[in-house]
Amino acid sequence: MTEASTTRWNNNIHYHRRILDVVPAGARTALDFGTGNGLLAADLHARVPDVTGIDIDLAVLESARAEDPGVRWIQGDVMSHPFLPESFDVVASVATLHHLPDLDSTLTRLAGLTSPGGVLAVVGLAKSSGAIDFLYDVAGLVQQARYERRHGIWEHSAPIVWPPPHTYGDVKRSAARVLPGSTWSRLPMWRYLVVWHKPAP
C-alpha cells in the first residue's frame, strides 16, 4: 500500500486491503471508478503498472493527482466514458456504487469493462434493513471507535451521498443476477464487498 494509505485511516481506506488481495497475478491494467481523492488508485498502482482513476468531480480529482502523478486521471462518468470493452484486468471502487441509482445497469457496465480472467471488486455502502444488518452496525460502532482512538480519522473531500439508496439485500440480489458466481461479504463499519472473477475464454 502507498504511504498515504498507511499514514491515514478512515472506513474506506481500512478496506483497501480487501480489494488489493484479489488483484490477479500479472494484472497490467486497473480502473478505479469514482476515485475521489485517489487513494485506492494509488494503492493499485503499487501493484499494477497501468492504472486509471475516473471521477465526475473536478475538484476532488485535483487532490487525487497529487497522490500519484503516474496514474491516468480522467474527469468523466464511468457509465458513458468511451473506454474500450474488456480493457481492465482490475475494475474496482470503494464507496462509489451507491452514487449510481441503477445497480443492474452499473454492474453490467463494470462487468463489460473487465477483461476475461480479470476481477471486479467493489467495497460499498448500503442501508440496513434487517436484524443481521443492525448487528453488523453495532459491531461496526465498536470497531470504528477502537480504530479512531488508535489512528484518528482522515476526512476525505469527495462528495457524499447519504443515506444510500439501496439496501444490502438490494446489492446482494443485483450482484447475483448480473455477476453469476460472484461472492458477497457483509463487512463491519457499514460496508460490503462484492468480488467477481470474469471467466477466461
Judged against a pLDDT cut of 90, whether residue 133 lies above it is answered with no
Q: Identify the structural domains of the chain with CATH numbers, from first to last.
A: 3-127+157-197 (3.40.50.150)
Instruction: Round the average pLDDT of the chain to a whole number and report it.
Output: 90
Q: Provide CB contacts within 8 A for 64, sequence distance 6+.
A: 35, 36, 37, 38, 41, 53, 55, 71, 73
Would you state the pLDDT for residue 40? 96
- pLDDT tens column, 142-197: 777 676 777 776 566 566 666 888 999 999 999 999 999 999 999 988 899 999 99
Would you state the pLDDT for residue 150? 74
Nearest to 77 by CA among 35, 118, 123: 35
Would you state the pLDDT for residue 10? 80
Strand partners for 31 = 52, 91
Query: Is it true that the peptide bond before 82 is cis, omega within 30 degrees of 0?
Result: no
Percent pLDDT > 70 in the chain is 91
User: pTM for the whole thing?
Assistant: 0.90
Judged against a pLDDT cut of 90, whether residue 78 lies above it is answered with yes
Judged against a pLDDT cut of 70, whether residue 4 lies above it is answered with no
